[in-house]
Structures are given as C-alpha cells and as structure tokens.
Amino acid sequence: MDGSIVPARVFKTAWFSRAARKARIADTELCAAMRAVMRGQADDLGGGVFKKRLDQNRQRSIIVAKGRRYWVYAYLFAKQDRANITEDELAGFRALADIYAQKHDVEIERELLAKELMEICHGEEAGI
C-alpha cells in the first residue's frame, strides 16, 4: 500500500435490502445515516458492530465495519418488535465484522456480482 486513504464503501446485504424495502427505507436514508455513523452518531457495540436508528426512530440497523473500509448494513429490526439483539447475535455480528475486515476488493466484487451485496454509497461521491 502507498499509505493513501481509501474511501469507505457502503453496502447492504441481500437480506437487509429485502427488509429495508419492506420497511420502505430508501438508500438515500441509509447513506445519510451512514454519514452520521461515521461522525460517531451511533451506538458502538464493539468489535466493529454499530447500531443506528432509522426511519424516524422506528427501525434499528446493525452495521458491521471492523476495517472501516467496508461498511455493511447487515440486519434491520423494528423497535416495536424487539428491544435489542441478543449477546449471541452480537457475537455473530462481531465475527461477520472480522470477516469483512479481511476481505479484498476482488471478494467484494464477487459478492456484488452474485447479488449477495448491493453497494449503496461510495466514498466522496456520497459525502462519506
């Protein structure tokens, strides 16, 4: 590496995409929320896992971003349905964050082609 800063890329998983569509949460809201997360306006659950409120505080999103190069919206739940994720779920999300911290662009591109991930904002073009 030449030491240059690589802009962050923001994705949502296929599962998250379906859940967000059902909850009517647009990618523009996700990108705006991600800007807030990167300013520290989210709950840091440790191990590269963040919780961010969405949809005028009606929904909660779980974001994994241990390497802070790839930020992935991984899980969405309604505040009215559950208060929080369990410790076991948190451990699973931390493990997922570790996996994404080790990934390279080639692996991410494969996941994009397979539609396992969708890119929703990228670096400076999204204000991130």
Q: What digits encode the pLDDT tens for the residues 75-120?
A: 999 999 998 999 999 999 999 999 999 999 999 999 999 999 999 9
38: CB partners within 8 A, 6+ apart = 8, 71, 128
Tens of pLDDT, residue by residue over 35-76, are 999 899 999 999 999 999 999 999 999 999 987 789 999 999
pTM: 0.89
Alpha helices in the chain (DSSP H): 14-23, 27-38, 87-102, 105-113
- Residue 44's nearest CA partner among 25, 20, 65, 72 is 65
